[in-house]
A and B are shown apart, each in its own frame.
Chain A
C-alpha cells in the first residue's frame, strides 16, 4: 500500500472532506437514533401503559421477548426463510447475469425485462401474488383445475407450506434484480484477456467458470449473500401483504414480530429489544459469512 499512500499523500484534505461527509450523512443520522433505541430498550415504553413510560427496567424487555411464546418459533421460521430464499435468489441472479452478459441478439431488451420485477412497488407485487393464489378467484387455481392437476380449488394461503413457498417465490421474484445488476456490472468489468487466454489454453466451460469467472465475482458474491441475508432478516412488507404472518404464525419471521410489537401491541420497549436481538443475529451472520467465505484479497 506504500505506493497508494504515495499517490494520495498530499490529498489528505480530500480524505478529510470525504470522512467529514461520511460522518455527517451516516454517523450523525444513524448513531443518535441507534443510541436512542439502545437506551430505550432498557426502559419501559409501552404505549398502552403511558404512566410507566421511561421507567428503567434493566433487562426485562429482553427477557420478556426471549421467553415469549413466539420467539423460538419465529427464529426457526426466519432461519427457514433465509435458507430457502437467500441461496436461490443469489443463484438465480448469478445465472441470469451470466446469461445476460452473453453478447447475443436482443440481450439488451431482455436486460430491461429482467429488471421489471424490481420496479413494481412491493405492495403491488405482493398483492398480485396474493390474488394469483387466491382460493376463490385465483388464476393459479383456475389453470391448475383446467389442466386437471387438482380437482377443485385449493385455498393455498391457508396452508402452511404452500404459503411459505408462495412467499419465497414472490420474494425471489422481487429481489433477484439487484444482485443480478451487481453481478452483471462486475462481469462487464472483467479483464477480457484472462478469459480469452483461458480459452486459448483449452480450459473447459466449467473450469473456466469455476476458476476465472467465479473468482472474479467472489467479492460481489459475498456482498450479495450478506446483503440478501440482511434484507431477508428484515423482511416485513411482503409477508404482511401476502399472509399477515399466517397461517398459524407459520410465516411470521422475527422481524415481522418486531413490527407487530411496535404497531400492533404498541410495546416499543420490546420492539426495540427485539431489534437489537436482530442486530446481534445479523452481526453473527455477517461474521459467519466472513469466516466461511474468506474475503478474496488480490493484493
Chain B
C-alpha cells in the first residue's frame, strides 16, 4: 500500500511539472494580452497583470470603434493591425474548413485502413505505402501546380479549395494512423463472429466499429488540428475574407511594421478556444477496454 501511495504522489508531482511547463508560455501569453501595447513598447512587462486592460480583445472585436476613439484622443495608431477586424470571420472560416476536413477524414480513413489491413490482394501494400509516402514531399514543391489547378477550376478563395487541399495533406496520415490502430487487433474476433453466424453488417457494427471509434477520435483530432493550423496552403489559396483562415490573419498581423505583440497574444488566446471545445467533445468518446477478453498474440 505504501508503495502505491508513493507512486500516486510521484504521478501527481509529474503532473504538476508538466502543467507548469505547459502553462508558463500560455500564462505569459495571457499576461501579455492583458497589457497595453504602449507599455510593451516602453519597458519590460510586469510578471502579473496588476492593472489588466481588455483593450486588446476589444480591438479585435470592435476595431473601427477603437481606432476612432484613439484618433479622437490623439493616441498613436501606427502599430495597430487593422487586419485584426477579420479575425472573428477567420475563425468561422477555419471552423468550417477544419470540421469538413475532420468529417471527411474520420468517415473514410478508418474504413480504408480496415480494408488495407484485412484484405490483402496483389499490390495492396504497395498502394497503401505509396499513399502514405506522398506526405514526404515538402509542401513548397507542390504549391505552384496546386495553385494552377485551383485557378483553372476557378476555386481560388473558396472553402472547397482549402477543404480539398487539407484533406489531401491529412488523408494519407489518417489512413496510416488508423492502419496502425488495427495492428494487433486479431482477425480471430471477426472470424469467430463470422462462424457464429453474424452477418457482415453485424460484424462491422459490433466488432469493427468500437475499435474504429478510437481510431476515428484520433483521426478527427489530428485532421482537425492540422487543418486548423495549416498556414502555407491557406496563405496561397485565399485572398479575401471569404476564406482566409486564422493562421493567415495572425501571420498578416505579424507582418505589421511594428509587431503588435499584445494584440497577437490576444488573437492567439481567441484562436485557442474553438479547438479546445472540439477536444472536450472528442475526449468524451474515448472509452477504455474496448477489446478486453481477446487473446493478443
Contacts and interface: CB of A to CB of B under 8 A. Distances in A.
A49 interface: no
B268 A279 contact: no
Nearest to B136: A282
A200 interface: no
A259 B66 CA distance: 37
Contacts of A283: 133, 136
B79 interface: no
A223 to B, nearest CB: 5
Interface in B275-297: 275-276, 279-280, 283, 286-294, 296-297
Contacts of B43: 137
A37 B279 contact: no
Interface string A218-231: 01101100010010
A22 B116 CA distance: 12
A114 to B, nearest CB: 6
A88 interface: no
A34 B137 contact: yes
A2 to B, nearest CB: 9
Given A18-B111, A128-B265, A3 B229 contact: no
Interface in A91-130: 95-96, 99, 102, 104, 108, 110-125, 127-129
A191 B187 contact: no
B54 interface: no
B231 A173 contact: no
> Which interface residue of A31, A114, A185, A234 has the most chain B CB atoms within 10 A?
A185
Contacts of B140: 258-259, 262, 271, 275
A192 B264 contact: no
Given A115-B279, A286-B133, A5 B141 contact: no
Given A119-B225, A298-B183, A191 B291 contact: yes
Contacts of B287: 188
A226 B42 CA distance: 45
Q: Is the interface of B mostly helix, strand, loop or mixed?
A: helix
Interface string B173-194: 1011100110111110011001
A3 B190 contact: yes
A123 B230 CA distance: 11
A191 B292 contact: yes
Interface string B44-60: 11010000000000000
A231 to B, nearest CB: 9
28 contacts: A3-B187, A3-B191, A7-B118, A8-B119, A22-B131, A30-B142, A33-B145, A33-B149, A37-B141, A99-B15, A119-B271, A120-B272, A121-B250, A123-B251, A124-B267, A132-B25, A178-B222, A182-B177, A185-B181, A188-B288, A190-B289, A191-B296, A216-B296, A219-B184, A230-B135, A237-B231, A279-B136, A298-B184
